[in-house]
Structure 1
Amino acid sequence: MVARLDDTKRSAIAQEIADLKALQELLIATEQNLLPAVSTDAEIRDRFNDFLRDDQKNLTVIDGVLTQFGGVTQPRDTIRQYIDQVNRLMNGSELTLYQKVSTHERIKHQAVMTGLIVHKAAQVAGEDVKQAIGALNQVNFENRAHQEQLKGVMEILGTRELTGKDPDKGVWARTQDAVAALRGLFEGITK
């Protein structure tokens, strides 16, 4: 009975890794889709090229980890449907560039959380599983770092779309951002 439970856990973790692989492939596809749209801004273009390079490398890591679980697990149908919907939106003209990058950031967030859940599950599933997914820790770290960088890109693109100008990045602007955040925090506490 215990071996069956372990097999069930391993299968569930393998399913999450298959979903992560599908999300990683989607990230690569959306980055390739977004690169021409950001090509006129050297800083954003370079950042997306870095994301693409890292994500392609990380896909091979995920493939290697999935192989240790049998390698034949497919992503859930709901993930496939989600990917189809995202591809339709990314290839269409319904979304602005800012909205497409925002969608990309949400995919990155989903990949981060999926990777973290696999990590946490492996901690309690057993040492063999923990060792098998060890390489995912770097993938999780890089995806999380990309997510933070995407927030900066979204700030620039969103401000440009709304005002036609770049956001103020000076010290005083950042101070005003921090004061507004603190004001929101204190107002939330006092209500």
Structure 2
Amino acid sequence: MVATLDDTKRFAIGMKLADMKALQELLIQNEQQFLRESNDSEISERFQKMLEDDQKNLGVLDTVIVQYGVQAQPEQTITKMIDTLKQLMQGSELSFYEKVFQHELLKHQQVMSGLTIHKAAQKVGADVMMAIGPLNTINFENRAHQEQLKGVLEVLGVRELTGQDADQGIWGRVQDAMAALSGVFGSAVTQTSDKTDMNIQDIIRLDHNKVNTLFTQLFASNDPQKIQEYFGQIYKDLLVHSIAEEKVVYPAVRPFYGEDDTKELYDEQAQLKVELDQAKAMDPASPQFKDKIKQIMDAVGDHIRQEESTMFAAIRNNFSTEQSEQLATQFKSVKSEEQQKMAKEAGMMK
């Protein structure tokens, strides 16, 4: 039987993701400051590339958090630590070398947080693994950044101590270390991209895959408590997904997808909400509960097939890549807002 998490533990992982997002924003601020302070063109070039990676990965983190489905605030200890580091970074108390040293420690913290979340997801279940999958990209790039920062620190440290330049051969050693990382992290390398965001088809497909996985897990369980936990996640995910589609996607595709086909999508989701509320009122231990979920799963399957065939084709044929990515960003934003509303109603957020 696949392990599941109760809401408290699920929220704890959500908080760890919120910690990572807060630290990611600090990393970006640091790198922007380093670019202003650095007078070495090669070091500046490396910080510029890190900055671009980290700005992109902030978007990846947003995707992971939205897909995971739990909106949380960073831990107070993390918030206090960030405030302290901001003051140190912006002040004159630390040398440039010492600031970069602190930055490397933050990168290490991000690496360990990302890997810990990934390992925890392996113990939880396939739906959580699917939701946090894009985190692999961030884990790999942060590890690669660590190796580059070691080279930067060696250059800056030697200059600070001797006033002379270090052996520039260190950059070669850094590249060798980064190449070795590619073998360790494998396919994570291929997930990197210059795109500012995933396109709307990618984001919707992630939702579809996750809910299908949850249905599979629910039907594989005979434990009423676990069944209730799986249904609770299905209920929240489908509700938030439908609201985001109705606010963002369907109005955007209506002009070229057609009034009748778009209305059909709206009507299907309206009926789905009725079915979900009916299931919510049922006893998960009753024999009729899984029959009801089977009806919902079949309806969702038909809806998914329509969206991923004709609607996706209409989007590909009528939207530019940039427009599709912008739609994905708006879709994630609405999902995030709805998830925060749910969390507040459940008393999980202040």
Indicate the TM-score class for this superposition, using the shorter chain for normalisation: 0.7 to 0.9
Greater RCO, CA 8 A, separation 6+: 1
State the identity as a percent.
61
Q: TM-score, normalised by structure 2?
A: 0.47
Q: Aligned partners of 2:64, 2:169: CA distance in 1, in Å? A: 43
- What root-mean-square deviation, in Å, do the aligned CA atoms of Structure 1 and Structure 2 show? 1.9
Q: Aligned partners of 2:27, 2:168: CA distance in 1, in Å? A: 28
Q: Aligned partners of 2:29, 2:168: CA distance in 1, in Å? A: 30
> Does residue 1:31 correspond to 2:55, yes or no?
no
Q: Report deviation, 1:169.
A: 3.9
Deviations 1:124-174 (A, max 9, x none): 111100010000001100000001100000000000000001112459xx8
Q: Aligned partners of 1:157, 1:110: CA distance in 2, in Å? A: 22
Residues 14 and 73, structure 1, Cα contact 8 Å, conserved in 2: yes
Inter-CA distance 91–26: structure 2 relative to 1 (3 Å threshold): same
Look up the match of 1:161.
160
Matches of residues 1-191 of structure 1 in structure 2 within 5 Å? 5-38=5-38, 40-70=39-69, 72-169=71-168
Q: Aligned partners of 2:21, 2:103: CA distance in 1, in Å? A: 15
| Number of positions where the alignment pairs a residue of Structure 1 with one of Structure 2 | 170
Residues 35 and 49, structure 1, Cα contact 8 Å, conserved in 2: yes
Q: Aligned partners of 1:149, 1:3: CA distance in 2, in Å? A: 38
Look up the match of 2:211.
none
Q: Report deviation, 1:72.
A: 2.6
Q: Aligned partners of 2:4, 2:145: CA distance in 1, in Å? A: 38
Q: Aligned partners of 1:169, 1:66: CA distance in 2, in Å? A: 40
- Could you tell me which runs of 5 or more consecutive residues in structure 1 were left unpaired when the two chains were aligned: 175-191
Moved more, 146-155 or 68-77: 68-77
The ranges of structure 1 where at least 4 consecutive aligned residues each deviate by more than 3 angstroms after the TM superposition are 2-6
Q: Aligned partners of 1:169, 1:46: CA distance in 2, in Å? A: 15
Q: TM-score, normalised by structure 1?
A: 0.84
Inter-CA distance 155–72: structure 2 relative to 1 (3 Å threshold): same
- Could you tell me which runs of 5 or more consecutive residues in structure 2 were left unpaired when the two chains were aligned: 174-350
Q: Aligned partners of 1:150, 1:170: CA distance in 2, in Å? A: 15
In the alignment, residue 109 of structure 2 is paired with which amino acid? Q
Q: Aligned partners of 1:163, 1:108: CA distance in 2, in Å? A: 27
In the alignment, residue 13 of structure 1 is paired with which amino acid? I
